[in-house]
Amino acid sequence: MKNSKSGGKGVKMQRTSGVRASISFPTALYETLEVIAKQKKVSMAWVVRDAAERYVIGEAKRAGRKI
């Protein structure tokens, strides 16, 4: 996901529409995500989407797939 705060390259994703998901996190993980969001001055949703995207890209690279 491209974001001026990350400065990194990302996959182009639609931002105008999407699918909502309800996710439960262990308390310690949730608190860590909150800290990261506050440090980066972004929403928790942004942090979770960014983490998910990085994970998917990494898995695709390990499997030799292009995204």
Rg (CA), the chain: 13
Each domain of the chain, given as residue ranges in start order, spans 27-62
Which amino acid is located at 12 in the chain?
Answer: K
Is the pLDDT at 4 greater than 50? The verdict is no
Can you give the pTM of this predicted structure?
0.69
pLDDT in tens, 10-53: 555 556 678 999 999 999 999 999 999 999 999 999 999 999 99
Is pLDDT above 60 for 60? yes
Dihedral, 34, 40, 46, 48 alpha carbons, nearest 10:
-50
pLDDT tens, position by position, 40-52: 999 999 999 999 9
User: Half-sphere exposure (CA, 13 Å, Cβ side) for 66?
Assistant: 0
